[in-house]
Amino acid sequence: MVDQIQEFLDAVSGIVWGPFVLIPLLFLTGLYLTIRLGGIQFLRLGAALGLGLLRRKDPGSSGDISQFQALTTALAATVGTGNIVGVATAIAIGGPGALFWMWVTGILGMASKYAEAFLGVRFRQSDRAGERNGGPQYYLERGIRGPVGKILAWTFTIFAIFASFGIGNLTQSNSIALNIENSFSVTPWATGLVLTVLTLVVLVGGIKSIGRVTAGFVPVMIVFYVIAALYILIVNIGDVPAAFGVIVGDAFTGTAAAGGFTGSVFIIAVQYGFARGIFSNESGMGSAAIAAAAAQTSHPVRQGLVSMTQTFIDTIIVVSMTGLVIVTTGAYTLADPATGEQLSAALMTGEAFSQGLPGQWGHWVVTIGLAMFAYSTILGWSYYGERNVERVFGRGAVMPFRVLFSLIVFGGATTQLTLVWSFSDVMNGLMALPNLIGLLILSGLIARETRAYLRFDPKLRASKREIEEALADDPDFQAWKAREDEMDAAGGVPSGGVPSGDVNSDDVRTGDGA
């Protein structure tokens, strides 16, 4: 029975992640949005980093958590096992060239991440607890009128709930338990118990508790890991240019891929680069828009740009560190002494860091880094799952979900998982499909409102008052502001429905909002 399920999941994953469905859709959506938004990820990255990492908040704005906390919550969900094991998996199967295609998902994905985060804030609403609530489960239905929007929204919602238990829970807790057992001989049930308690303590406090924890925890874990990787690259600085050459060359030839294949390995490198890339940075999946919707911001464009930096940090920085260490040290060419075959992805990153750092430091850095990354992912994805469960079952289901999610952490840590990784790949892909379609349909609205804002505030330095004065005659902004004021005045509970004049339905349906 297990073998049959595995074969089914592999078949579905092969279709979803094959060369004719998600890969071209991811690439073309990211490329189209990059063009439509005027290369926003290149021109506005500096300003976005300044707002998100230095100023960190919009004084006087509505929302539940600061822009920095929304960014770290999304980073917590994305910087996980994909940044360590996922990169190694892509290289082990697709060769070093797969890292190049992970970079492509990151660069183009920044435009997709901006678009979905913008929409998350643009169409957010409040629940009965007065918390801001948004994401594809709302903006697909509110932004795209008629049955198409409803179908896309509910499809995303269902797949997101399943994905939260896969990518956001079982795979993460299982990776933590196995690595801690291998490194420190701690039994999985003990690790699972600690993880369960820690998770439950944080989740009971909701998004404000998650935001506070991730704001302090995520920067430390990323800096810790990046410093260790930079040390290895500096020590081996003479090999770094050659590593870039191997990565770029192999991206189009496949000559260095596992097993020495050449012809179809180009497709394999692209496939695994894209699959592991989206598993790592989640651009196009729509998940980060859920965190963005909780942010205190004075305009959707501002939070969209802050959220865009998440993909840059995840893929262009953290993923690059892992991949360059693996290629520079040559770990991807080594054989496992036990089997004589190529090192598995589970061992490859650890071996690369062990070769680059003295003593046992490499082994410890990877184990501790993976534990921190994976635990942060559990926290971030718990919020994503919670928001979608609330969409289906109402606010009353939130606390039971938090408890259930925490208990499943223990199950993931103490159970041998053979199907969950394949299941997670399928759910990730099926989440992304309705969201990517929605981004294309809503691209006109996104482009129009983005241009209107950046025309007067390209450096993101305007105050809330200056924004309101500059956009006093802009009907799109005034509709959004009226909705925000209504929610604030009602203690966070709006009257419901899509406000009249909120969106030009003809523009949205055709995507021609320019």
DSSP string, 29-66: HHHHHHHHTTSHHHHSHHHHHIIIIII---TT--SSB-
Where does the pLDDT of residue 86 fall: very low under 50, low under 70, confident under 90, or very high at 90 and above?
A: confident
Domain boundaries, the chain: 1-335+342-459
- pLDDT class of 255 with cuts at 50, 70, 90: low
Any idea which of 56-70, 133-147, 184-198, 437-451 has the lowest mean pLDDT? 56-70
Among 80-89, 406-415, 484-493, top mean pLDDT goes to 406-415
Contacts of 24 (CB under 8 A, 6+ apart): none
Ramachandran angles phi, psi of 124, nearest 5°? -70, 160
Q: What is the dihedral of CA 274, 280, 283, 286, to 10 degrees?
A: 120
Mind listing the pLDDT tens digit for each residue in 106-115?
A: 999 999 999 9
What the block records as the tokens of 18 is 């094959």
Average model confidence (pLDDT) for the chain?
88
What pLDDT sits at residue 514? 37
Give the pLDDT band of residue 262 (cuts 50, 70, 90).
very low
Using pLDDT thresholds of 50, 70 and 90, give the confidence band for residue 23: confident
* Fold of the domain built from segment(s) 1-335+342-459: Amino acid/polyamine transporter I (1.20.1740)
User: For 173, what's the count of Cα atoms within 13 Å in the CB-facing half-sphere?
Assistant: 36
What percentage of residues in the chain have a pLDDT greater than 70? 93
48 pLDDT exceeds 50? yes
What distance, in Å, lies between the first and last C-alpha atoms of the chain? 53
Give the DSSP letter string of 413-444.
HHS--SSHHHHHHHHHHHHHHHHHHHHHHTHH
β-strand partners of 138: none
Instruction: Place 498 in a pLDDT band, splitting at 50, 70 and 90.
Output: very low
Q: Over range 86-90, report the average pLDDT.
A: 88
Q: What is the mean pLDDT of residues 197-213?
A: 94
4-9 contacts: CB < 8 A, separation 24 or more? 5/419, 6/418, 6/419, 6/422, 9/419, 9/422, 9/423, 9/425, 9/426
- Between 20-29, 323-332, 382-391, the lowest mean confidence (pLDDT) is in 20-29
Of the ranges 161-170, 251-260, 420-429, the best mean pLDDT one: 161-170
Q: By the 8 A CB rule, do 215 and 209 touch?
A: no
Contacts of 154 (CB under 8 A, 6+ apart): 137, 141
pLDDT at 505 over 50: no
14 pLDDT band (50/70/90 cuts)? Answer: confident
Q: Are the CB atoms for 422 and 5 separated by under 8 Å?
A: no
pLDDT at 264 (0 to 100):
55
Cβ neighbours around 512 below 10 Å, total: 14
* DSSP 8-state secondary structure symbol assigned to residue 83: G
Confidence of residue 254 (pLDDT cuts 50, 70, 90): low
pLDDT at 156: 97
User: What pLDDT is recorded for position 360?
Assistant: 82
Residue 46 CB neighbour total at 10 angstroms: 12
Radius of gyration of the chain (CA): 22
Tokens of 65: 């958590």
Share of the chain above pLDDT 90, in %: 66
Please work out, in degrees rounded to the nearest 5, the angle formed at the alpha carbon of residue 97 by the alpha carbons of 96 and 99: 75
The 10s digit of each residue's pLDDT in 306-315 is 999 999 999 9
Higher pLDDT, 432 or 259: 432
pLDDT value for 29: 95
Q: Confirm if 425 and 14 have CB atoms less than 8 A apart.
A: no
Give SS3 for 322: helix
pLDDT tens digits, 228-244: 999 999 999 999 999 99
Nearest to 333 by CA among 355, 302, 313: 355
Q: Which range is least confidently modeled, 39-48, 211-220, 447-456, 494-503?
A: 494-503
| Higher-scoring residue by pLDDT: 167, 138 | 138
Q: Sorting pLDDT into bands at 50, 70 and 90, what band is 60?
A: confident
Above 80 in pLDDT, residue 316? yes
Please give the average per-residue pLDDT across 467-481, as a whole number.
Answer: 95
Q: Phi then psi for 65, rounded to 5 degrees?
A: -135, 160
8 A C-beta contact, residue 480 and residue 177? no
**pTM of structure:** 0.91
3-state helix/strand/coil string of 268-315:
HHHHHHHHHHHHHHCCCCCHHHHHHCCECCCCHHHHHHHHHHHHHHHH
In whole angstroms, give the CA distance from residue 118 to residue 170.
30
3-state secondary structure of 163: helix
pLDDT band at 267 (very low <50, low <70, confident <90, very high): confident
Better-predicted residue by pLDDT, 448 or 83: 448
